[in-house]
Amino acid sequence: MNIKNYINGQFQNPEKDEWLDNYCPANGEIYGQIPNSSKTDVEKAYKAAKMAFPTWSQTTLDKRSRILIKISELLETNLQRFAEAESKDNGKPVSLAKTIDIPRAASNFRFFGNAITQFASESHESVGQQAINFTLRQPIGVVGCISPWNLPLYLFTWKIAPALASGNCVVAKPSEITPMTAYLLGEICNEAGLPEGVLNIVHGLGTSTGQAIIEHPNIKAISFTGGTATGAHIAKVAAPMFKKLSLELGGKNPNIIFADCDYENMLATTVNSSFANQGQICLCGSRIFIEESIYEKFKTDFVQKVKSLKVGHPSDDSTQIGALVSKPHIEKVKQYIQIAKEEEGKILCGGNSISIKNYENGYYLEPTVIEVPNDECRVNQEEIFGPVVTIMPFKTEEEVLQMANKVKYGLSATLWTNDLKRTMRLSNQLQTGIVWVNTWMMRDLRTPFGGMKASGVGREGGFEALRFFTEAKNVCIKY
Ligand code: NAD
């Protein structure tokens, strides 16, 4: 199935007629083409957004909210269709897309549709000076939203929904590897009555289409989720143009397990936090540190559970691990398994490609557990972003804290303990934007979301996102 750009409410071919192949990871076959949009297409999208801005930014909050909630409802009505499309494009199990990705995309629109009606700005009375200040929160204008392939519609809408709710018009680009559900979203937006030009979706490579968005002099803010190297490049381009930037980047998250934890809950959640979505979630706990006294028990139980995970075709209901997203990506992940061996890591289970009957060319990999000799090896320091985790024991809280923080990333950390004082000490000292205690990936959309260090700049979620997508203007009135 071929897809088109969505500009000014219409589906359009790219001006230069350049196309990219779209692969199905489950069988390795090309199943459609997508535009590789040029500067000209991005300019068209920008112009449509600019035209729509005066009206959309003056549309009442009630009306904006109703439209966003309508989009949310239509996503729910079309759950099966969207989940199948997401799975076909990305390789994730349909069951996962149906329970996580698409419901969350719907929640994003519902949440920000509601949040904008509760968003308020401050006022400051200058006591003794007979003056009052108040803050106007005004939409920025035309903003750019660029998202990755791992949670395609989930992360695409996590940016678009707050941008639209706060009155901006958007030029958005999904990952060229997983463009399908973003394409389908255009249809839903029309059906929900989103005025033309308010949201424009252009498809293509990061280096062509994405680059045209970040370089555009009048796209004044960029919300980006993706790799750290791409984030650094975007920052370089955007900084001299003084664009507002929100960067959600890579992670190498510690999962710290103390002997006093609720063991069974920890074990089940750790399997999930290691391998959900084939380990392709920026929040996966890919470095597992286990207190020495339970290390051997954990090792045996964990490996046994991981070995029983079913790798299979994404549309098979019993599949727990689907296909990795692309051929280059599975090659990269396999290369890290090789590096682990060279670094004297011990492969406790997995490590090999799997051939699934009738889908022999799909990108399937066994979930892999590596026992590492130390925390400084490359597989423990670099983001692999696949179904691969490392495990190693620790002796003391101080030691594990140091290892947890000794990476360039700082996105999230998971902590398993029932000791409240320890929870407080570590939560204070972990250099990450998110700390989960006795749980993983439990999300409340009101909370600030984002990372420290090489994991990003800025926070998304709740009012943080609405603040990002608005300019604060102080008005001071002397009376
Ligand atoms: P990527 O950086 O390769 O691509 C992300 C997006 O940026 C794509 O749409 C791509 O086309 C675009 N892009 C690439 N070059 C560009 C350029 N020069 N200008 C503008 N846009 C450009 O990342 P990916 O491989 O799609 O995603 C995986 C990465 O995303 C991992 O590092 C993962 O940790 C990270 N990620 C982070 C979060 C988070 O919330 N922190 C969430 C999900 C994924």
Predicted pLDDT of residue 1: 82
Q: Which pLDDT belongs to residue 280? A: 98
Task: Determine the distance separating the centroid of ligand 1 and the alpha carbon of 150, expressed in angstroms.
Answer: 9
Residue whose CA lies nearest to ligand 1 atom number 43: 282
Please report, to the nearest 10 degrees, the dihedral formed by the alpha carbons of residues 311, 312, 315, 321 taken in order. 20
pLDDT tens per residue, range 230-285: 999 999 999 999 999 999 999 999 999 999 999 999 999 999 999 999 999 999 99
Q: How far is the CA of 288 from the centre of ligand 1 (A)?
A: 25
Ligand 1 contact via 150 beta carbon (within 6 Å): yes
Contact indicator for 101, 174 with CB cutoff of 8 Å = no
Per the CB < 8 A criterion, the answer to whether 78 and 188 are in contact is: yes
- Cα angle at 404 between 400 and 407, to 5 degrees? 145
Spatial CA neighbour of 279 closest among 321, 317, 318, 308: 321
Give yes or no for residue 389 CB within 6 A of ligand 1: no
| Single pTM value for the model | 0.98
The mean pLDDT of the chain is: 98
Cα 289 to the chain's mean position, in Å?
Answer: 24
- Atom number of ligand 1 nearest to Cα 449: 40
Query: Other CB atoms closer than 10 Å to residue 427's CB: what's the count?
Result: 14
Of 37, 209, 223, 282, the residue with max ligand 1 atoms within 8 A of its CB, to mutate for a pocket test, comes to: 282
- Using a 10 angstrom Cβ sphere, with 0-12 exposed, 13-18 middle and 19 or more buried, the burial of residue 255 is buried
> How many A from CA of 96 to the centre of ligand 1?
21
Does 204 contact ligand 1 (Cβ within 6 A)?
Answer: no
- 30 alpha carbon – ligand 1 mean position (Å): 22
> For residue range 420-479, what is the model confidence (pLDDT) as tens digits?
999 999 999 999 999 999 999 999 999 999 999 999 999 999 999 999 999 999 999 999
pLDDT above 70 covers a percentage of the chain that reads: 100
Q: Is the CB of 382 under 6 A from ligand 1?
A: no
Q: How far apart are the first and last CA of the chain?
A: 64
From ligand 1's centre to the CA of 267, what distance in Å?
A: 30
Residue 418 CA to ligand 1 centre (angstroms): 36
How high is the pLDDT of residue 137?
97
Q: Which of 175, 233, 237 to mutate to test the pocket of ligand 1 (most atoms within 8 A of CB)?
A: 175
For residue range 151-196, what is the model confidence (pLDDT) as tens digits? 999 999 999 999 999 999 999 999 999 999 999 999 999 999 999 9
Output the pLDDT for position 403: 98
Q: How far apart, in whole angstroms, are the C-alpha atoms of residue 328 and residue 273? A: 24
Rounded CA-CA distance 364/374 in Å is 28
Rounded Cα–Cα distance for residues 384 and 250 (Å) = 10
Ligand 1, closest atom to CA 146? 9
Please say whether the beta carbons of 352 and 320 come within 8 A: no
CB 164 within 8 A of CB 57: no
Q: Name the residue with the closest Cα to ligand 1, atom 34.
A: 250
- Best residue among 38, 42, 143, 146 to mutate for probing ligand 1's pocket (most ligand atoms within 8 Å of CB) is 146
